[in-house]
Amino acid sequence: MDLLPGGYWDAGGRLHRDFELTALTGHEEELLSRPGQSARLVTEVLSRCVRRLGGLGPVTPAIARELLVADRHYLLLQLRRGTFGDLVRADLVCPWPDCGRRVSLTFSLDQVPVEEAREQAATYTLWLGGTEVTFRLPNGGDQEELAELLAHDEAEATTRLLARCLLRLGTDGPPDRARVSALPAADRAAIEARMAELAPRVEQTMQAECAECRRTFLAPFDVQRFFLGDLRIEGEQLYHEVHYLAYHYHWSEREIMEMTRERRRTYIDVLSETIEVLNGGA
């Protein structure tokens, strides 16, 4: 049984961690191959492909949006494994100034480090001096709301993220952006450090070695961007495959798009072999 590294707390205070996934069909591949805000696309595909989460099913977009960031990344890893397999290949450039050669990185998804949450809770409490601070961990909804801001103003995005995640500051309720901005730098740093310590994690860097200079370096591995990149590269190919099967089998677009990638390509392989035999026989 596969478990999320964090888990989803429902309104009744129950934690849901085990899950079942269904494979991507052509509909999801088409959705993810189109331009769009990455976090919102991830929410949509998870709501379609997570068949069950603990005792919850179906998983609605609202639930997918409230999943912790690391849980969303973990689910994307599993979907990527089911769609493209375990092996990952990436072309990088050696970052050492006196080298700069191209590096091919190959690794298995099993090598991506995943850390479970240290404490399972819906909310957490931290004491700063005599002030009690209650907070939750960042989720997909935060990613959706702050993605555009993060792209051009990381500091402001961090401030607004804290404002979204802080549930109580002393005797007051959730603080607004102005109050968060006015917090002493040491207090903000303490809150951010505690959030990072408690959050589950899917590693976003991989160690690589340059084949030319033999030095190692850390290569970024953005799970969300990598997953969407694979599918966007394959987007045009999807329509060629639909056309090929529709032309020869006279199936409808809907029937073909409802197939998984593996099933679709199995028919293409069988059809290609049959055509080759017929052409050879002619």
Measure the CA–CA gap between 265 and 244, rounded to whole angstroms.
11
pLDDT reported for residue 5: 97
pLDDT reported for residue 1: 72
Only one residue has tokens 């690589």, namely 208
Give me the residue spans of the domains in the chain. Answer: 3-116+203-231, 124-199, 234-281
pLDDT reported for residue 206: 83
pLDDT reported for residue 15: 97
pLDDT reported for residue 29: 87
Only one residue has tokens 């033999």, namely 214
pLDDT reported for residue 167: 96
- Shortest CA distance to 177 belongs to which of 166, 187, 185? 166
Measure the CA–CA gap between 142 and 269, rounded to whole angstroms.
43
Amino acid (one-letter) located at 154:
E
pLDDT reported for residue 281: 56
pLDDT reported for residue 172: 84
Cβ burial of 69 (10 Å; 0-12, 13-18, 19+) is buried
pLDDT reported for residue 68: 98
Low-confidence stretches of the chain (pLDDT beneath 50) = none
DSSP per-residue string spanning 1-67: --EEEEEEE-TTS-EEEEEEE---BHHHHHHHHS-S-HHHHHHHHHHHHEEEETTB-S--HHHHHHS
For 178-228, the pLDDT digits (tens) are 999 999 999 999 999 999 999 999 998 888 888 889 888 888 888 887 777
Q: What is the DSSP letter of 112?
A: S
